[in-house]
Amino acid sequence: MDLEDIEIHLLLEGIYLHYGYDFRQYAPSSLKRRILDFARLEAVDGISLLQARLLRDPACFERFVLALTVNVTAMFRDPPFYIAFRRRVVPLLRTYPFIRIWHAGCSTGEEVYSLAILLKEEGIYDRCRIYATDINEAVLRRARSGIYPLKMVEAYESNYAGARGKGVLSDYYTEKYESAILRASLRENILFSQHNLASDGSFNEFNVILCRNVLIYFNKALQDRVHELFYGSLCMFGILCLGSKETLKLSPRESDYEELAGGERMYRRTA
């Protein structure tokens, strides 16, 4: 192990002991690059000095969490996913009187509001309670606000059309100066809160869990932990939705699910 890797190892142990945040099983090469970038950004000379600062300065630690995690997201990201969700998952959900949904790793919330729009258009939003979680308090604050730069939201119009939205996206926001303010009715049944997939446990039983574009940043052991968590948090015949580059294949829970047709990484718990 070279010296820098030892320092990173100690840094991650220290953070885990002090803050309870476990980054020890994140994919190592991108983790190292992000830590070094963060040290440069904070003008700290070396990982050991960074460790001292992070352990004593919670504000610096919040910036660190933000720098370490990739928060890229979009409304109606991967439009075919939403077409498949309407076709394959919504008919199953219609059979339930009450529907619990968990968005794990929701980032700034665009994906959660996209699903809320879809559920409204399908007439089942009122029956849903959506729990949207992320490790990162800073992105959750933005998600709760439901306010996004207008230019960005306007650019999502083509995603929405590609996802076979039933109206126009502008039906769901009002414009104020350079911002798009999402309709408060979209937020009514959404609860945003902090949850760490690397260390926290199950907190409810869900009919649907969406965790898209999160597991790619974890190593295999952490991915397996999270699959165990999702399995324990899904009711029988519940649906798990992963990102387009993620799969249940080779996870210890693979045989407990069947894949819904369409290749959109949607799985139904069958055991």
Ligand X SMILES: C[S@@+](CC[C@H](N)C(=O)[O-])C[C@H]1O[C@@H](n2cnc3c(N)ncnc32)[C@H](O)[C@@H]1O
Contact status, residue 147 vs residue 180, Cβ threshold 8 Å: yes
Least distance CB 218 / ligand X (angstroms)? 8
Alpha-helical (H) ranges within the chain are 3-19, 28-41, 47-56, 58-68, 79-84, 90-93, 110-121, 137-145, 150-155, 157-162, 184-187, 220-233
Task: State which residue, 130 or 139, has the beta carbon closest to ligand X.
Answer: 139
Task: State which residue, 27 or 55, has the beta carbon closest to ligand X.
Answer: 27
Burial letters 20-40, b for 16+ CB under 10 A, else e: ebbbbbbeeeebeebbeebbe
Least distance CB 34 / ligand X (angstroms)? 12
Least distance CB 260 / ligand X (angstroms)? 18
The span from the CA of 39 to the CA of 41, in Å, is 5
Binding site for ligand X (CB under 6 A): 69-73, 77, 105-107, 111, 134-136, 139, 196-198, 212-214, 243
Task: State which residue, 100 or 212, has the beta carbon closest to ligand X.
Answer: 212
Least distance CB 33 / ligand X (angstroms)? 16
Task: State which residue, 94 or 220, has the beta carbon closest to ligand X.
Answer: 220
Reading the block at residue 132, the tokens are 């949207």
Task: State which residue, 97 or 201, has the beta carbon closest to ligand X.
Answer: 201
Q: Which residues pair with 99 in a beta bridge?
A: 128
Least distance CB 213 / ligand X (angstroms)? 4
Place of tokens 């509001």: 113
